[in-house]
Amino acid sequence: MKIIIVGAGLVGRHIAKELSQENKDIIIIEKNNEIARIVANELDCMSINEDGSRLDVLEKAGIEECDYFIALTGVDEVNMITCGMVASHFKKPKTIARARNPYYKTLLSDLRSFLGIDYIINPEIESAEEIVRSLEEGVAKDVFNVIDDRLQMRILQVKENSPYIGKTIQQIRKELDKEFLIPALSRNNTILIPSGDTKVESFDQLYFLGSPKTLDQIFGIFEKRLNLRKIGIIGGGTKIGEFVIDGLRHSIQRSTSGWKAFFPFLAKPSNLSITVLESSKDRAKALCQLFPDITVIHRDVGEEDILEKEEFSQFDVVVSVMESQSLNIINAMFAKQIGVQKTIALVVDSSYLRLSSLVPIDSIISLKSAVVNSILRVVRRGNIQTIHTFYEYDLELLRLTLSPNAKPVGKQIKDLNLPKDALILFITRGDENIVPSGSTVLQPGDLLGFIVKKDVISKLETIFESTDEL
């Protein structure tokens, strides 16, 4: 797959790096000399130091044979017009434009017919959606949903006095006598795919996969199913803060009859309160006008002991979405220290995600990762989606749904020639969870879960793509 990226800022470089790791053919165009030099030195892809909004430069880069064209410059209008130019001159490439103005995303259908833009990515909206999703799932560091509320993964830290130490995976499953899997095990900064004979050691991390009900029976009701009633947002006057508030208000305003099934960790709409701490007077005033039903506190966020003075310790969760990622981490850590049950910090650089297990913060959301995941959902073939990234180990937990015309339909797993660094963890077929074996025959609509190394994802795309995508 050939992809051209115009704009090598932080997001552009991160996307180029991720896609290169999946063995995609990446060409990145950047007109700034210094940034282009950094790209050439740091990334394993072709770098062109010219103006990517010019047709002759794009032709030089091979736009005619390109599968996707992604415009990520700092100017919305340049991104959209360049995508329009590509769409009008070349039939093959799908076009993706980054637009920070949310208004453009609402016009996507018009822009598709007018300019030929296939997808618009808004970094702030993507990040806010990640934060709202984390709140909906209970802001749990070691718990995440694999398939909605049907299949869940929980991470168990094996302590020195754990009864699991010295036992094999097979013994643990036999003693617990429940339907679950332990598909991965982390030990000494290495992730292992355990067999039934693998023995558990002190300080291992075990990844349990099963239904929430089964895992509740094993671990107990995790975090006592915290009901998040009071949410505090630090820096809520930023664009991301506004989108988080708007996203929360919209999600809890769904029909009350089915509401609790979708958002079990949030209080009922009538009981949920949102309080925003905002340093800027103008932003605070604008928030009051936009959201008259929330509480807005105009105070200097950098003021000493401000969270204690404003009684943030009484909140169930505190979300810090200021423009400084380091301040967001500090705010979340301090909120945790004064007694806040759950904290979320927004960062730009995804390298901060590696700190997740080292700092007392329940959830770290990366703006770059949110954008990358959105683009990956578009460019990957075979309906492949990332569920979770193990940043320390260069591994991903993926899922894909077999379309009726997917090439593996009707075949046994042993005949798929899967790469050795890709393991099928589970298959969900309707309401049934299937433990896969080599003789399992795949059917249309099957949802498969994988743990894979990033460099074999392109092979999975080829194996599981639909004949419609060829």
Question: CATH number, domain at 418?
Answer: 3.30.70.1450
Is residue 182 domain-resident? yes
Token pair 């589970």 is found at 426
How many C-beta atoms surround the C-beta of residue 250 within 10 A? 10
The total number of structural domains that make up the chain = 4
How far is residue 390's CA from residue 350's CA, in Å, rounded to a whole number?
A: 12
Instruction: Work out whether strand 25-29 and strand 68-71 pair parallel, antiparallel, or are unpaired.
Output: unpaired
CATH number of 47's domain? 3.40.50.720
77 falls within a domain: yes
Instruction: Classify residue 54: in a domain, yes or no.
Output: yes
Beta bridge partners of 296: 276
Are 302 and 396 contained in the same domain? Answer: no
Asked if 256 and 218 sit in the same domain, the reply is no
For Cα atoms 166, 170, 172, give the angle at the middle one, nearest 5 degrees.
60
**Cα gap 448→429, rounded to integer Å:** 9
| Dihedral sign, Cα of residue 148, residue 150, residue 151, residue 155 | positive
Q: Classify residue 375: in a domain, yes or no.
A: no
How far is 302 from 253, CA to CA, in rounded Å?
33
- From 346, 370, 394, the end of a domain falls on 370
Regarding whether 399 and 355 lie in a shared domain, the answer is no
Q: What is the pLDDT along the chain (470 residues), one digit of tens a residue?
A: 899 999 998 889 888 988 888 888 999 999 999 999 998 888 888 999 999 999 999 999 999 999 999 999 999 999 999 999 999 999 999 999 999 888 887 777 777 777 889 999 998 999 998 898 888 777 776 777 777 667 888 888 898 888 999 999 999 999 999 888 888 888 887 777 788 899 999 999 898 988 888 888 888 754 444 567 889 999 988 999 999 998 887 765 543 444 344 445 555 555 678 999 999 999 999 999 999 989 999 999 888 889 999 999 999 999 999 999 999 999 999 999 999 989 999 998 777 777 776 788 888 998 888 888 888 888 887 778 887 777 666 778 888 889 898 999 999 999 999 988 888 888 888 878 787 889 999 999 999 988 888 888 888 988 998 776 55
217 and 275 co-located in one domain: no
455 located within any domain: yes
Q: Are residues 164 and 203 located together in one domain of the fold?
A: yes
Q: Are 449 and 398 in contact (CB under 8 A)?
A: yes
Query: Rounded to whole angstroms, how far apart are CA atoms 299 and 302?
Result: 9
Boundaries of domain holding 254: 127-139+228-370
Q: For residue 76, is it within any domain?
A: yes
